[in-house]
Chain A
Amino acid sequence: MAVKVIIPTPLRAYAGKQESVEVQAATVGEALSALTARFDELKKHLFADDGRLRSFVNVYVNDEDIRYLQKDQTSVKAGDTISIVPSIAGGTGN
């Protein structure tokens, strides 16, 4: 089923400069896989080398954080909107 993925402004350059992309998926994991299959350059900004979502990348279905749902197994239905929101972290590391 078709779900909309909102592309955050910093990553639009890697998604054909689009604000949103429609993908066919039954779960959040499938949606992100479909998205990165279409736009390979997005992958390294969303996923770490081990294939997991980067720790600072948060995903919402409509307004719900998937960490409090079924994570990447969270099911999606036609018309749902997936948002990708970073948390911003850093520091001296000293």
Chain B
Amino acid sequence: MSHAPLKIRQEMLRRIHAHGVETYPHECCGALLGRDGDGSREAIDLLPLANRRDDSPRNRFEVTADDVRLAEKTARERRLELIGWYHSHPDAPARPSEYDRDHAWPWYSYIIVSVQNGVPRDTTSWRLHDDRAAYDPEEIETVAHPASI
């Protein structure tokens, strides 16, 4: 299934990269707030969140249900939707793992940034298939200004 590109400002990507560098060698995570409709999707704002996986933060992240509810509330207050999530893969490729797939839902955009030796490298985005079997890569389209959807 093909999806419209995920539009995002370069400045927001830089903030995601900076978060991944800040928490390296641990994984960072956060919410993507934006708009989705009429075949178009745009991330308008970020909500950086704490990685709650204290036991294994180098190769796992977790956003608790309470933090998810906080992200949903924040999105509503900003008149946006919770459209997805971002996290980093320290010293690993920006590709979803089996563990990622087991813990995902369709519809959300999942941005992954690879941070190699503390330096942000590839950034990719993914959407889970309806049947949960695999992810589709989602094109990231950087924009200068937020578009009105």
Which secondary structure dominates where chain A touches chain B? mixed
A91 touching B99, Cβ below 8 Å: yes
Number of A-B pairs, beta carbon distance below 8 Å: 88
A65 — which chain B residues lie within 8 A by C-beta? 65
B105 touching A86, Cβ below 8 Å: yes
A88 — which chain B residues lie within 8 A by C-beta? 29, 61-63, 68, 85, 103
A51 — which chain B residues lie within 8 A by C-beta? none
Q: Which residues of B contact A (CB under 8 A)?
A: 27, 29, 53, 56, 59-65, 67-69, 81-82, 85, 87, 89-92, 96-100, 103-108, 110, 130-132
Offer 26 A-B interface pairs, CB within 8 angstroms, sorted by A: A10-B107, A10-B108, A11-B107, A13-B106, A13-B107, A44-B132, A54-B103, A55-B103, A86-B68, A87-B65, A87-B68, A88-B29, A88-B61, A88-B62, A88-B68, A89-B61, A89-B63, A90-B87, A90-B96, A90-B103, A90-B104, A91-B59, A91-B60, A91-B97, A92-B27, A92-B99
